[in-house]
């Protein structure tokens, strides 16, 4: 199986139960186009939340959970648009409850905005470092920070 081209993941605030109710209310699981649906909540906090956001590149330390919406299927040209649209629609119901973005999950629609959300207020400092140590943007195939 190949992973769907559309995946979304972000940091949740403490509103996990609200997220669960919203997913249930919109019938996300019932309307899933396949049984390859994966929706997950990953607990966060603890030691992560005790480090100040500016102490490292990782900014979104206040989130209690990480949430993701994925679908996977055998790639058939006829299914790609329908399944991708399901992921996008489901994500529009969950995203308003989130804040920030986990950088390793920023390989989705509107990548630039998601990379900025992942690094938050640390982005300008990281862009200045990138300008100093990688001014030609050689290391750009990741969730890229562009040199300032």
Per-residue model confidence as pLDDT tens digits over 85-96: 888 888 888 888
Tell me the CATH number at 34.
3.40.462.20
What span, in angstroms and rounded, lies between the C-alpha atoms of 32 and 42? Answer: 21
What span, in angstroms and rounded, lies between the C-alpha atoms of 1 and 73? Answer: 6
Q: Residue 102 falls within a domain, yes or no?
A: yes
Q: Which of 22, 5, 41 minimizes the C-alpha distance to 92?
A: 22
pTM tops 0.75, yes or no: no
At 7 the pLDDT is 46
Q: Residue 116 falls within a domain, yes or no?
A: no
Q: Residue 145 falls within a domain, yes or no?
A: no
What residue ranges of the chain have pLDDT lower than 50? 1-7, 14
Q: Residue 115 falls within a domain, yes or no?
A: no
Q: Residue 113 falls within a domain, yes or no?
A: no
Three-state DSSP state, 50: helix
- Extract the tokens encoding 79: 């299914």
- Structural domain harbouring 18: 2-107
What total of structural domains would you count in the chain?
A: 1
């Amino acid at each position: 199986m190949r992973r769907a081209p559309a995946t979304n993941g972000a940091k949740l605030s403490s509103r996990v139960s609200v997220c669960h109710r919203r997913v249930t209310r919109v019938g996300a699981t019932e309307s899933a186009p396949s049984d390859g649906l994966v929706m997950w909540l990953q607990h966060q906090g603890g030691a992560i939340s005790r480090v100040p956001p500016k102490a490292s590149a990782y900014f979104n330390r206040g989130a209690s959970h990480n949430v993701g919406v994925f679908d996977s299927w055998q790639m058939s040209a006829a299914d790609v648009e329908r399944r991708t649209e399901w992921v996008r629609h489901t994500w529009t119901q969950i995203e308003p409850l989130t804040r920030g973005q986990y950088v390793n999950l920023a390989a989705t629609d509107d990548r630039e905005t998601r990379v900025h959300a992942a690094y938050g207020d640390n982005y300008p400092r990281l862009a200045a470092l990138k300008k100093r140590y990688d001014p030609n943007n050689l290391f750009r195939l990741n969730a890229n920070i562009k040199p300032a």
